[in-house]
Amino acid sequence: MSENPQVKAILEHIETSERELADQAGQFRDRIEELSQRLGEIDAESENLRITRKTLLALPLPSPATEPERPGIPDHPAYQQILTALADEGRPMRARDLCQTLDLPILPKNTEGIRSKLKRLVSRGILIEPEPGLFTRPET
């Protein structure tokens, strides 16, 4: 190396600059590798979406939706008796009133049994409950 202090300082500066540039280049290469990998992932995801779109467009159109059938009246004869009593009375009734109409003793087990059946008929759309505990046919 040169004994000239000015040349020596310049050479040290060049070496330092070369190391800094090499470090920056390494960082850029790492970043390029990372971005290339991410780009590959995005391209694969985009291709999956394109295939999904193509598949969906190839599917036949669904038939028009039909309204689901409502379940009918349960088989137990008590349900028919309840509906008959409501039709005969022609007014909204409570479980206790129905027990009286059906000649059942006014006991909690009978009232709750009738109430449970009334709620099941409401859930099936056969009866409505215009206010809590009051049951009637929809057309009434």
- Encode pLDDT of 46-96 as tens digits: 999 999 999 888 888 877 766 556 567 788 888 899 999 988 888 999 999
Q: Judge whether 70 lies within some domain.
A: no
Say whether both 3 and 53 belong to one domain. Answer: yes
Give pLDDT, residue 66. 65
Is the pTM for the entire model greater than 0.85? no
pLDDT of residue 41: 94
Residue 99, domain member (yes or no):
yes
92, two tokens = 């909204």
Find, among 85, 108, 66, 109, the residue nearest to 121 by Cα. 85
Query: What pLDDT sits at residue 140?
Result: 46
Asked if residue 64 is part of any domain, the answer here is no
Query: Residues 6 or more apart from 72 whose CB is under 8 A from it?
Result: 124
Answer yes or no: is 71 within a domain.
Answer: no
What does the pLDDT average to over 7-29?
94
Q: How many domains does the chain fold into?
A: 2
Please tell me the distance from the alpha carbon of residue 128 to that of residue 58, in angstroms, as a whole number. Answer: 44
Domain range for 85: 77-136
The token duo for 103 is: 């000649």
